[in-house]
Chain A
Amino acid sequence: MPSSDELKRRIETAIPNSIVNVEDLTGGGDHFRAEVVSDRFAGLSRIQQHKLVYDVFGAEVGGPIHALSIKTSIPSGGAT
Chain B
Amino acid sequence: MTNTEIREFIENAIAENPVMLFMKGTPEQPACGFSARTAACLNALGTRYAALDILPDQRIREELSGLSGWPTIPQLFVDGELVGGCDIVTEMYESGELAELVGAEQPEQAEDAAARSEAPVGNGKVPLENRLD
Contacts and interface: CB of A to CB of B under 8 A. Distances in A.
Nearest to A33: B87
8 cross-chain pairs, A with B, having the tightest CB-CB distances, nearest first:
A61-B71, A62-B71, A46-B88, A69-B87, A54-B71, A47-B84, A70-B87, A62-B72
Contacts of A40: none
B105 to A, nearest CB: 22
B88 A68 contact: no
B74 to A, nearest CB: 11
Given A50-B84, A69-B34, A69-B87, 11 more contacts: A46-B88, A47-B83, A51-B69, A51-B70, A54-B71, A59-B71, A62-B65, A67-B34, A67-B72, A69-B86, A71-B87
Given A67-B34, A70-B87, A47 B72 contact: no
> Interface size class for chain B?
10 to 19
Interface of B: 34, 61, 65, 69-72, 82-88, 91-92
Interface residues of A, number: 13
Contacts of A68: 72
Given A61-B71, A61-B72, A62-B72, A47 B87 contact: no
Nearest to B91: A46
Interface in A56-80: 59, 61-62, 67-71
B129 to A, nearest CB: 25
